[in-house]
Structure 1
């Protein structure tokens, strides 16, 4: 079984770029754009435990800022357990990570991220990850 411990450089760069755009949107008080970049960071980072937990932590803090109890609770659960699925390559591929979507629901990968996530197992049913 393959463990997802080290994030490849191309994914790390894209993940960090989305977080940079998230911070810029926050600085401009554009919460909807900031959230979009967190969701995109989640789609990229969910394959690796540290980045996966990191984006859920940021979503948790965002929920606190917005006084959104549903998001706070949902992110607490995701922070607590999501890293396990990442470690063992069993994640809901394409999931945006928001508490408004089911935890285990796979979702389509955005077109502009498909080449970056070329190794995602898009044909699997349910939880998947990178092809072995």
Structure 2
């Protein structure tokens, strides 16, 4: 179980959130959403950051009245934390309602070093080794 987020994960996670806030302040909505997705890829291994990112995604969707995203984020808020708690997540998943909830995706190149312990050898749900 991954209760405590390591310092290097925290640093990367909060860097993405800082970029998200900057993009929002500059009205670059597409970039802002991308930074939330990247924060999700990093934070999904730990229940509190994982839940926090889905909450931020929900707030974003509500502000922009994106119905599909609102419904998707409510669902993810209800169940996502449990996968993190059990160290079983869809590696590389962006957390967006446009991506199936259990679908895996390749980890972005610049995050590979950080997520080197992600168990990419498994099919289906996996976690940190």
TM bucket (normalised to shorter chain) is over 0.9
CA distance in 1, matches of 2:128, 2:26: 35
Q: Can you list the C-alpha shifts for 1:53-110, whole angstroms capped at 9, x where unaligned?
A: 0000000011111111100000001011100000110000000000000000011000
Return structure 1 stretches of 4+ with deviation > 4 angstroms. Answer: none
Consecutive unaligned residues in structure 1, runs of 5 or more: none
CA distance in 2, matches of 1:57, 1:20: 16
Give the TM-score taking structure 2 as reference length: 0.99
Partner of 1:116: 114
Aligned pair count? 129
- Please report the RMSD computed on the Cα atoms of aligned residues, expressed in angstroms: 0.4
CA distance in 2, matches of 1:25, 1:60: 17
Partner of 1:9: 7
Q: What does 1:15-94 correspond to in 2, within 5 Å? A: 15-94=13-92
CA distance in 1, matches of 2:69, 2:60: 8
Which secondary structure does the structure 2 equivalent of 1:73 belong to? helix
Consecutive unaligned residues in structure 2, runs of 5 or more: none
CA distance in 2, matches of 1:12, 1:46: 12
